A and B are shown apart, each in its own frame.
Chain A
Amino acid sequence: MILAIIVGMSIVTIVPRFIPAFIVGKVKFPNWMNRWLNAVPYAALGALIFPGIMNVIPERPWLGILGGAAAILISFFGVNVIFAVIGAIVTVYLLNTYNVLDLFQFLGV
């Protein structure tokens, strides 16, 4: 039964992935559609980041936001993506371990 579920999940995941390979070869898209498709990665990035980022530590959504802020800051310097990834992990880890947010709450901020 589990095997059937896995195969079923595989089929409905893979078919939508490869159908466009057939479409793109057959149809010549008008220019506006190429522009549309070229913007898809940026729109996808937006939708993948938010609001999902608030669920990194579900009970403390602000940690995700702060980790994201660290990533934005680091990325601004034009360094490799990997530094943004590491910086964000360190930020979330420190904030999650040392309860800096609780401290803010304690101070009434």
Chain B
Amino acid sequence: MEAKTLEENCTTASKLALIRDGAIAGFPIFLGYLPIAITYGVLASQAGLSISELTLMSVLVFAGAAQFMGAQMIMAGSGLLEIVVATFVLNFRHFVMSLSFMNRLKPLSFKSKFALSFGLTDETFTVSSLHPNEARMPHGALFYASLILVSYFSWVGGSFLGGMLGEIIPDRLSQSMGIALYAMFIGLLVPSVKKEWRIGLIAVVSMLINYLFMINGVSDGWAIVIATVLASFLGVFFLKEAEDE
């Protein structure tokens, strides 16, 4: 009886620790999303969306670049089909990312994987991918759920604030805060490159492919998909045992 309570206490403690660690890992995303979400809220309300509409878009879509594009296209008077197709193209990269993410989460139950897949963005994906060990822990899904929810609340809350209050962050500051997510991506990449320089090569090749396609008029969405798929293929030859379990 007592032993059982102790065991229960232990699982509760470890669950709480996972939730806390997930929130800590998600905090840079929280910080990075906030100014962008507020800017989106401002722009979307200028585009003619009501507060509830622009917040609903954040709740249901949860994809920064696509929402900016969507708001701009609504303002420009584009049609439903045009906007939906453009969104599909821009967000198709999430399919490739999700395939990688789900493969890493293999030890988790289908239900957990399915639920977590809804919260996949560029940022939650990259941060989660660099924390692969939690997937093998009992209740590890809590770590990823917490990371995603922290990001999600920042995105949805920031959108609402932007729509409600308008430009609450001075222009120059919010402009400068646009570097935040890029800095986070860099901060995620550098430690991996220090451990394995070939990872840096994969990233640089991806940058160059992306750049080449973009300057040749390929849309951002497809350029990122093509660059990600092609450059990561180098991993087949480069990442021997280092990344395999």
Determine the residue in chain A with the shortest Cβ distance to B207: A50
Contact call A81/B187, Cβ cutoff below 8 A: yes
Contact call A39/B202, Cβ cutoff below 8 A: yes
Determine the residue in chain A with the shortest Cβ distance to B92: A16
Tell me what chain A mostly uses at the interface: helix, strand, loop, or mixed: helix
Tell me what chain B mostly uses at the interface: helix, strand, loop, or mixed: helix
In the bound complex, residues from chain A placing their C-beta under 8 Å from that of B67 are 9
Interface size on B, residues (CB 8 A): 98
Contact call A40/B100, Cβ cutoff below 8 A: yes
Contact call A21/B57, Cβ cutoff below 8 A: no
In the bound complex, residues from chain B placing their C-beta under 8 Å from that of A52 are 182
5 contacts between A and B (CB under 8 A): A8-B80, A18-B118, A38-B103, A43-B227, A48-B126
- Determine the distance from Cα of A18 to Cα of B243 in the docked complex, in whole angstroms: 24
Which 3 residue pairs across A and B have the least CB separation, nearest first? Answer: A39-B235, A46-B206, A46-B203
Given that A42-B235, A46-B210, A47-B210 are known contacts, is A68 also in contact with B186, CB under 8 Å in the complex?
A: yes
Tell whether B214 is near chain A: CB-to-CB under 8 Å: yes
Using a CB–CB cutoff of 8 Å, the interface residues on chain A facing chain B are 1-14, 16-21, 23-25, 29, 31-53, 56-57, 64, 67-68, 70-72, 74-76, 78, 81-85, 87-89, 91-93, 96-97
Contact call A2/B182, Cβ cutoff below 8 A: no
Contact call A41/B227, Cβ cutoff below 8 A: no
**Shortest beta-carbon distance, A53 to chain B, in Å?**
5
Contact call B182/A64, Cβ cutoff below 8 A: yes
Given that A2-B53, A8-B84 are known contacts, is A20 also in contact with B98, CB under 8 Å in the complex?
A: yes
- Determine the distance from Cα of A7 to Cα of B157 in the docked complex, in whole angstroms: 19
Contact call B60/A41, Cβ cutoff below 8 A: no
Tell whether B234 is near chain A: CB-to-CB under 8 Å: yes
- Determine the distance from Cα of A92 to Cα of B183 in the docked complex, in whole angstroms: 11
**Shortest beta-carbon distance, B185 to chain A, in Å?**
5
**Shortest beta-carbon distance, A9 to chain B, in Å?**
4
**Shortest beta-carbon distance, A100 to chain B, in Å?**
13
- Determine the distance from Cα of A31 to Cα of B210 in the docked complex, in whole angstroms: 27
Contact call A68/B228, Cβ cutoff below 8 A: no
Contact call B189/A37, Cβ cutoff below 8 A: no
Contact call A71/B98, Cβ cutoff below 8 A: no
Determine the residue in chain A with the shortest Cβ distance to B98: A20
**B residues 183-233 touching A (CB-CB < 8 Å):** 183-192, 194, 199, 202-207, 209-211, 214, 223-224, 227-233
Which residue of B31, B92, B191, B211 is within 8 Å of A78 (Cβ)?
Answer: B191
Contact call B102/A21, Cβ cutoff below 8 A: yes
Which residue of A24, A39, A41, A72 is within 8 Å of B238 (Cβ)?
Answer: A39
Contact call B113/A25, Cβ cutoff below 8 A: yes
Q: B24-50 vs A: 1/0 string, CB under 8 Å?
A: 000110011000000000000000110
Specify which of A2, A13, A14 lies most central, judged by the most chain B CB atoms within 10 Å of its CB: A13
Tell whether B10 is near chain A: CB-to-CB under 8 Å: no
Contact call A16/B182, Cβ cutoff below 8 A: no
In the bound complex, residues from chain A placing their C-beta under 8 Å from that of B173 are 93
- Determine the distance from Cα of A12 to Cα of B62 in the docked complex, in whole angstroms: 12
In the bound complex, residues from chain B placing their C-beta under 8 Å from that of A57 are 175-176, 178
Contact call A40/B191, Cβ cutoff below 8 A: no
Determine the residue in chain A with the shortest Cβ distance to B103: A37
